[in-house]
Amino acid sequence: MNNNHRFSKKFLSIALSATIGLSAIAAGQAQPVAAATVTTSKATKIINLGDNYLGVKYKFGASTNITSAFDCSSFTKYIFGKYGVKLPRVSSAQAKVGKYVSKSNLKKGDLVFFSTARTGKKIGHVAVYAGNNKILHTYGKPGVTFSNLNSSHWKSHYVTARRVL
């Protein structure tokens, strides 16, 4: 993503926040500072960080000390770790942290887990739910990318989801 696009996204986000805030004040409503707001903010920051790595190549077993290549779990470990959320190294272990969340109750920032050809029916892939049925993850040729959770492949390989925020 180029700097102009990144600036535009940040400016739009700030402008929208200010507009919503001023509308709430004008309507005589106090702005809630709830845990849900903090969680949404952290989830958005994590997804935005991941967005900066779109196209970075996929490499199975990639080191967690590099950002020039990721596998699915090193990617989630890295982007969540930058915001203070410590995750285990592999997707099957990441699937055991946080709280279970049903597919119908997914929120931005939830971890979504899938089976793979390599793992059979067991968990072998992790992604971040980005809202609007999109997942942010890395695999194969596209590397870090967004995919549609409801596409035939991801829908048929879905296993579970966890809320870690």
Compute the average pLDDT of residues 22-32: 42
- Indicate the pLDDT class of residue 77, thresholds 50, 70 and 90: very high
Compute the average pLDDT of residues 73-94: 97
Q: What is the pTM of this model?
A: 0.77
Residue of 40, 78, 86 lying closest to 56 (CA atoms): 78
Could you give the residue numbers annotated as active site? 72, 125, 137
pLDDT digits (tens, 9 = 90+) for 123-165: 999 999 999 999 999 999 999 999 999 999 999 999 999 999 9
- Indicate the pLDDT class of residue 30, thresholds 50, 70 and 90: very low
Tell me the three state secondary structure of residue 89. Answer: coil
* Residue 138 near residue 71 (C-beta atoms within 8 A): yes
Which one is the CATH code of 32-163: 3.90.1720.10, 3.40.228.10, 3.40.50.2020, 3.40.47.10?
Answer: 3.90.1720.10
Determine the Cα angle at 143 with ends 137 and 144, to 5°.
40
pLDDT digits (tens, 9 = 90+) for 33-73: 555 666 669 999 999 999 999 999 999 999 998 999 999 99
Spell out the domain ranges in the chain.
32-163
